[in-house]
Amino acid sequence: MLSFIARRLLLLIPTFFGVTLLTFALIRMIPGDPVEVMMGERRVDPVMHADAMERLGLNKPLYAQYFDYIGQLAQGDLGQSLRTRESVWSEFLTLFPATVELALAALLFAGTLGLVAGVIAALKRGSLFDHGVMGISLAGYSMPIFWWGLLLIMFFSVWLGWTPVSGRIDLLYDIPPVTGFMLIDTLLSGEEGAFVDALRHLILPAIVLGTIPLAVIARMTRSAMLEVLREDYVRTARAKGLSPARVVFVHGLRNALIPVLTVFGLQVGALLAGAVLTETIFSWPGIGKWLIESIGARDYPVVQNGILLIACLVILVNFVVDILYGLANPRIRHQR
C-alpha cells in the first residue's frame, strides 16, 4: 500500500512543475499591460511606465522572470498582487473560505439529494419516479447555470423576496472574520439572527452550483446501485432474509458508493469552474471571481499563483480520491 502511495506521489512532482510552467507561459502570453489598464484614457508618462515595470519586475527577459518565480516558490513566496500590492497568499486566504463554504454547501445539497433520488430511482426502476429523476437530472446536466442563477434570483429574490439578492451576509452585521467561514463566524460572533441570515444568503448560490453535480450524482448512484443490486452478494443477502433496508443501505449503497466517490473527486474541478460563474452572478467574494477579475486587470502574480493553488488543490483531491479508491478496490492498487 505504501509503495502505491509513494508511486502516486512521485508522479505528482512533474505534474506540479508542468503546471507552474503552463500557468507562467499562459499568463505571459496574454497581451496587455497592467500600467495601461490602470491609467485608462489618460496619458502614460514613459518614465513613470518604465519605473513601474521595473518595480514589478516585468522588464526582465522571460526566462529570468520564470527562474525568479520558481525561486520565490521554493521559498514559499507567492508574490504580491500588482494591483493591490497585497501578498497573493493572504488574498487567497481571505477569499478561499468563501468558495469552500459555497462548494461544500453545493456538494451537501447535491450529495444528499442525489444519493436519495438515485437510490430510489434504482429500486423503482422503470417507474414514473425513475423516469422523472432521470429526465430532470438530464435537464440539470444540460443546464447553462449562469442562466439558471438569473432565473432563481428573479423568482426567489426579486419576485417573492424570500432570499437576499447577493453577498454572504447582511452587512449591518459586523462579523469579524475569524475562520473565514461565514456560518462558523456568525456563530462565534454570537450576534442574534446572524447565522440564519448567512444561511439564507447561502441557499440560492449553493443550489445553482450544486445543480450539475446533483444531476451527475443522481445518475451515477442509480446506475451503480443497479449494478450492485444484480451482484451475487446482494442476492445472497436477500436470500438470507435480511431486511430490504439493510440490503439496500448496508450491502448495496456501500458498494455503490465507490464509483460515486470518484465522481465526487472529478467534480471538484467542475465545481471550481462552476464557482467562477456562480460567484459572478451572486457577487460572492470567492476565488473564482477574483481570478476572472485578475485576468482582466493583467495581475500576473495573482492569476499565475491563484491558478497554481487551484491546480494543486485539484491534484490533491484527485490524489486522495485515488488513494481511497485504491484502498477500496485492491485490483486498482496492483495495476501498473
- Please give the residues from 269 up to 308 whose contact with another protein meets the rule CB under 8 A: 269-270, 272-274, 276-277, 280-283, 285-286, 288-293, 295-296, 298, 303, 307
Smallest separation (angstroms) from another protein to the CB of 47:
8
If 0-12 CB within 10 Å is exposed, 13-18 middle and 19+ buried, where does residue 1 land?
A: exposed
Would you state the cell numbers that stand for residue 40, as one nine-digit string?
485608462
Residue selected from 61, 142, 241, 245 as contacting another protein according to rule CB under 8 A: 142
Query: Are 310 and 286 contacting, i.e. CB atoms less than 8 angstroms apart?
Result: no
- Residue 184 binds another protein, judged by CB under 8 A: no
235-264 residues near another protein, rule: CB under 8 A: none
Span of 103-111, 220-228, 244-252, 321-329 interacting with another protein by CB under 8 A = 220-228
Residue selected from 99, 168, 211, 218 as contacting another protein according to rule CB under 8 A: 168
- Residue 94 binds another protein, judged by CB under 8 A: yes
**Distance between CA atoms of 69 and 25, rounded to whole angstroms?**
12
β-pair partners for 80: 87
DSSP assignment string, 60-93: S-HHHHHHHHHHHHHTT---B-TTT--BHHHHHH
Size, binding site for another protein by CB under 8 A:
108
Residue type, 177: P
Q: Write the CB contacts of 70 (distance below 8 Å, at least 6 apart in sequence).
A: 20
Span of 2-10, 39-47, 65-73, 107-115 interacting with another protein by CB under 8 A = 39-47
Smallest separation (angstroms) from another protein to the CB of 83:
5
- Residue 126 binds another protein, judged by CB under 8 A: no
Residue 314: how many other CB atoms lie within 10 Å: 17
Residue closer to another protein, measured from CB, 42 or 334 = 42
Please give the torsion angle defined by the CA atoms of residues 86, 89, 91 and 97, in that order, rounded to the nearest 10 degrees.
-170
**Distance between CA atoms of 93 and 100, rounded to whole angstroms?**
11
- Residue 108 binds another protein, judged by CB under 8 A: no
Query: Are 266 and 295 contacting, i.e. CB atoms less than 8 angstroms apart?
Result: no
- Residue 320 binds another protein, judged by CB under 8 A: no
**Distance between CA atoms of 122 and 225, rounded to whole angstroms?**
6
Smallest separation (angstroms) from another protein to the CB of 64:
19
- Residue 62 binds another protein, judged by CB under 8 A: no
Residue selected from 1, 158, 250, 327 as contacting another protein according to rule CB under 8 A: 158
199-218 residues near another protein, rule: CB under 8 A: 199-200
Residue closer to another protein, measured from CB, 238 or 319 = 319
- Residue 8 binds another protein, judged by CB under 8 A: no
- Residue 116 binds another protein, judged by CB under 8 A: no
Residue selected from 5, 37, 58, 73 as contacting another protein according to rule CB under 8 A: 37
Q: Write the CB contacts of 255 (distance below 8 Å, at least 6 apart in sequence).
A: 228, 231
